[in-house]
Amino acid sequence: MGEEIQEERFSAADFRRFNDTLRAETESLRAAFAAGLFVDAEPTAGFELESWLVDEEWSPAPRNEEFLARLRDELVVPELARFNVELNTTPQPLVGEVLGRVEESLRRSWSHAQAVAATMGMRLIMVGILPTVAHAELCTENMSDRARFRALNEQILRMRNNVPLMLDIRGRQHLQLKHRDVMLESAATSLQIHLQVGEGVAADYYDAAQAASAAMVAASGNSPFLFGRDLWAETRIPLFEQAVNTNPAATGASRFPARVSFGDGYLAGSLMELFEQNLERFPALLPVISDSEPSTFHHLRLHNGTIWRWNRPLIGITRGGPPHLRIEHRVVPAGPSIVDIVVNAAFFFGLVHGLVQGQADFRDRLAFPVARENFYRAAREGLGASMQWLDGRCVAARELLLEHLLPLAEQGLADLGLESGQAQHYLNIMAARIERGRTGSEWQRAFVARHGSDMRQLTAAYWDNQEAGRPVSEWGL
């Protein structure tokens, strides 16, 4: 959810000053793009892994402040709810044996965090939606003690004229309910994959991430259940899109653009187009004025942090150095295991690089509305979805992944310069997952089909498998 702020209440004058500053910084950013001022580095990877704290009964444990105080790791930070935390990794160049190093680093951080949680009678779970979370637990009393979160909640409610949110998700079952605040968003936890690239190719990689999103969500789904209902293969997608809706449902009209969306088209040639959209289309939510240097684009980055595109452009600032560009890929859920996380990341890096380098005409061959429809169909149906690819044919997701996209990802990882044995190891795990039809979502559904719909039993079995360290393709029922 981004950096902390100090103010929580804002006046009309605050919004006017912020909008003036945002417009000036957007103009400065436009000049920076025109002058080519960004770091032209080789592709670099980073990760944010959101997770749940649960108690001995497998219910959410709203104790993240106490947990973080004991953990004392600056790379682990609070999330929106008191029962969520986020583990961050240090950026690493996408070359050589980086995948193995990432797995080793994540395992060390996770094991340490798990050990600290155990001293408090808790466990950590990485899953898109915790099966045991109850609607009543997603309340402001369980919001993390951060001014940013309280201010976001107040501003989103203000834009909705304090009209309750109507959550409405139709999947295998139907869930419909009213909710008054933003805390539904905290039920959706993800793996956010960061890819830093040079300015000259950033738009190509961004569009490739858009085209790849359907395959990513089909192959990584891990969120079928919400409040005991079996909904989408990746229910986190509609949940997050609806949870921060700024439009009052009672009006029957959309006054504001969706803050969480897949977007409405490929880029014409620059990530700058997205920051222009931010300025022109999206009202500010956190009009906090800073005395930071204009070259840090502080206000622009703060505003961008309140617009949750499934693929989000980021401006990174290194102290004393030029800014850099990153793409934040947000479609992948947390879990099911550490190795599955690295598998998902390897597939993403290889696939987008393969598209940019080997299928440069992918935008001409896959119309954006088709890419968007692919994405939502994959979120609804997972590996059972039918999707259209570059040749215009509709093909089953499993066939598309195995016969077309995994080979493209393999070539992409090779072109990036990743160690071949390691790259093949992780892609083989992805292939086994697809061949066996065993994503996290499918494992959860199969477990419930065999053992019944006891969400605590499901969560306990899930945690046991997660901590055993095996990929989900090898989990038993």
Chain segment 369-394, per-residue pLDDT in tens: 999 999 999 999 999 999 999 989 99
Mean pLDDT of the region 232-243? 97
What's the whole-number mean pLDDT along residues 293-307? 95
Pairing of strands 165-170, 174-179: antiparallel
Q: What is the pLDDT of residues 391-430, one digit of tens each?
A: 899 999 999 999 999 999 999 999 999 999 999 999 999 9
Is 226 a residue whose pLDDT tops 90? yes
Residue 4 pLDDT more than 70?
Answer: no
- Please give the average per-residue pLDDT across 450-472, as a whole number: 98
Give the pLDDT mean for 50-77. 97
**53 near 60, Cβ under 8 Å?**
yes
pLDDT value at 366 more than 50: yes
Residue 7's pLDDT is 74
pLDDT score of 46 more than 90 = yes
Given this model, what pLDDT does residue 6 score? 72
Question: For position 8, what pLDDT does the model report?
Answer: 78
pLDDT grade for 2, boundaries at 50, 70 and 90: low
Q: Which CATH class is domain 12-471?
A: alpha beta
Q: Residues 30-59: what's their mean pLDDT?
A: 96
Q: What band does 44 get if pLDDT is binned at 50, 70 and 90?
A: very high
User: Which tens digits make up the pLDDT trace of 136-169?
Assistant: 999 999 999 999 999 999 999 999 999 999 999 9
Nearest to 359 by CA among 327, 392, 390: 390
> Which two three-digit tokens encode residue 183?
């805390």
Residue 220: which of 209, 234, 207, 238 has the closest Cα? Answer: 234
> Model pTM?
0.97
User: Which pLDDT score is estimated for 143?
Assistant: 98
Q: Tell me the pLDDT of the chain averaged across its residues.
A: 95
For the cut 50, the answer to whether the pLDDT of residue 1 exceeds it is no
What are the domain boundaries of the chain?
12-471
